[in-house]
Homo-oligomer: A and B are copies of this chain.
């Protein structure tokens, strides 16, 4: 299965720090507004993330987001 794990990273340390796991085994990612993302895992779990995409490495099953400053 080709789901991905979603991590929150700090852009300043993303090279060395793998970040914090936000939701694993994500299938669907749908934007709900400016920098608001609705994530759904293959198990049906849903979470909303506010942030910006930092990078995706799909073969590694890794999608990284940065939180936005409030």
Contact = CB atoms under 8 A, between A and B. Distances in A.
Contact of A58 (B3, B55, B57): B3
Interface string A1-44: 11110000000000000000000001111110000000000100
Interface residues of A, number: 20
Interface of A: 1-4, 26-31, 42, 52-59, 61
Chain A's interface: helix, strand, loop or mixed, by majority? strand
A69 B41 CA distance: 32
Contact of A30 (B3, B4, B28, B55): B55
B61 A2 contact: yes
A56 to B, nearest CB: 4
